[in-house]
Amino acid sequence: MRRNRNRGYQKLRVWNDAINYYVQTCEVFRNFPYELKRVASQAMASADSVHRNIAEGYCRRSIREYLHFFNIALASLGESVSRLHACLKSKQITEEQFERLDKLTYKLENGLLRLVQGLERKRDQGKWIDHLIVKESTTGIPNEQGFDQWLGYLNQHNAHFYYPPFLRRNQEKMILDNQDGERNVYSHDLFTHFALSFIAENKDRPFFLYLPYTIPHAELLVPEEDLAEFRGRYFEKPYNKRNERDYNSQEFPLAAFAAMVTRMDSDVGKIVDLLHNLGIDDDTVIFFSSDNGPHGEGGADPDFFHSSGELRGMKRDLYEGGIRVPLVVKWPGKIEAGRISDHVSAFWDMMVTCAELAGTDVPKDTDGISFVPELLGKGKQEQHGYLYWEFHERGGKQAVRKGKWKAVVLFREKKFELYNLDVDPGETRNVALRFPEVAEEIKQILKEARSESPHWELPEMFY
């Protein structure tokens, strides 16, 4: 009985905290000018729901319901921060109003975060326990790799799903209101909110933000309000979940994919707008790219959307459709808008490029080459002698890009293929027999470029 009384007392304290933060929410949003009330309305409605549910009695509501309300409020606050700066810049509010609202919003955001974390610590599938925040000590966490703070996944399997039961924030486990298969908190939205808050908090000093969105990926799930915009536009082939570890079913996979791309595009726009509203876009470089070509998993249909364009292949292929992706860079006043570059680069060039832009020492132990001269259109751009890839699934594959020449090795099929990308970017005509000297040169590169590793072995070379 004593244990139950303690549990009830703990709940009552949490609900009292909720009422206090509800009052603070009302105070902040009542002070918003008319232009911001639309943005704040969702958070205000959430606060009203919290207050109403508390008034009905805390025994009748579960913690996950309250977490849902507060997470909605947090997402709305992130958007409100961006609108505040926009209203100040357009002189819809005064400096004095801005400063007061900014301080109130910041205070409320931190208060809500503490409340959410307190609720998360106390709940595990409806049960109240005190050990839900798990401390991590592995050296692989971002905090041990140079990042001051981070939010995301540490588990590769969990990272394939958008309604995970938890995420990691720095070294703490962040329980989400997605227990027992429920879909209340879309992880992508938390990443966007985190990014917007991080930028606003660091606007007066140099910062580096790495935002690896997980949408669109193989699980084709998106909140209903986004899916509704595209449902019914396409002739759909529903995708059905095959087993417990498979991606969730989706009746409208084409619509879901379109909605996910649209949602990501909108959120990238929020980040660009915030930089502009803060007046720091001229001092900020934005890089936007993808880690590989399109895929065909979870019901996705890259052919329908012509996702690879004229390029052959997709994810897991070493043809251009699998490894060649666009890179969009924005830096107003420094990089010419609308310019298209044919410079051949790779992700291992990013570190040295960012180091040069930041004015720090460029690491020497790397194959990367800075492409800052190409970005700025100044100076001579150094070129790679060649680029090398290998892939260890589906029997093993290798590829080399050297100037206009591209070679692909398929170990399972025992094939060596050579393409001239200048005239055949779709890699449709194997010209290895027509250019034996080029083929021999690249075969030698394929043998010498890789470093032997017991963890990443390739089959015996046949060429």
The pLDDT tens digits of the residues spanning 55-80 come to 444 434 455 555 555 565 555 555 56
Across-strand partners of 364?
none
**Type of residue numbered 44:** M
CA distances for 329 relative to 287, 322, 326, 407, angstroms? 5, 21, 10, 28
Contact 52, 60 (CB under 8 A): no
Q: Domain 387-448: which topology? A: Arylsulfatase, C-terminal domain (3.30.1120)
Residue at token pair 């050579």? 418
Report the candidate in 383, 214, 386 with the shortest Cα–Cα distance to residue 290. Answer: 214
The C-alpha atoms of residue 91 and residue 132 are separated, in whole angstroms, by 46
Query: 427 is written with which tokens?
Result: 């890699």
The C-alpha atoms of residue 46 and residue 68 are separated, in whole angstroms, by 9
Report the candidate in 334, 378, 327, 331 with the shortest Cα–Cα distance to residue 350. Answer: 327
**Residues contacting 16, CB < 8 A, separation 6+:** none
The C-alpha atoms of residue 264 and residue 192 are separated, in whole angstroms, by 9
Query: 342 is written with which tokens?
Result: 């044919």
Contact 163, 187 (CB under 8 A): yes
CA distances for 319 relative to 95, 292, 324, 399, 451, angstroms? 55, 11, 8, 8, 22
Report the candidate in 97, 115, 85 with the shortest Cα–Cα distance to residue 25. Answer: 115
Could you tell me the residue ranges of all domains in the chain? 387-448
The per-residue pLDDT string of the chain (463 residues; one tens digit each, 9 = 90 and over) reads 333 444 444 444 554 555 555 555 555 555 555 545 554 554 555 555 555 554 444 434 455 555 555 565 555 555 566 666 667 767 777 777 777 776 666 666 666 666 555 555 544 333 332 222 333 556 678 888 888 999 998 877 788 899 999 998 887 888 888 988 889 999 999 999 999 999 999 999 999 999 999 999 989 999 999 999 999 999 999 998 876 667 889 999 999 999 999 999 999 999 999 999 999 999 999 999 999 999 988 899 999 999 999 999 999 999 999 999 999 999 999 999 999 999 999 999 999 999 999 999 887 889 999 999 999 999 999 999 999 999 988 889 999 999 999 999 999 899 999 999 999 999 999 999 999 999 999 999 999 999 888 878 888 889 9
The C-alpha atoms of residue 222 and residue 298 are separated, in whole angstroms, by 13
**Residues contacting 449, CB < 8 A, separation 6+:** 386, 388, 400
Burial 343-362 (b: 16+ CB within 10 A, else e): ebbbeebbebbbbbeeeeee
**Type of residue numbered 245:** R
> How far is CA 44 from its chain centroid?
28
Query: 275 is written with which tokens?
Result: 């930089």
Query: 243 is written with which tokens?
Result: 């087993």
Report the candidate in 192, 263, 193 with the shortest Cα–Cα distance to residue 227. Answer: 263
- Is residue 143 packed enough to be buried (19+ CB in 10 Å), middle (13-18) or exposed (0-12)? middle
The pLDDT tens digits of the residues spanning 80-139 come to 666 666 677 677 777 777 777 766 666 666 666 665 555 555 443 333 322 223 335 566
The Cβ-side half-sphere exposure at 315, using a 13 Å CA radius, reads: 14
Plot region of 125 (φ>0 → left; ψ -120 to 50 → alpha; else → beta): left
Across-strand partners of 408?
399, 417
Residue at token pair 């939205």? 189
Model confidence, pTM: 0.71
Across-strand partners of 375?
none
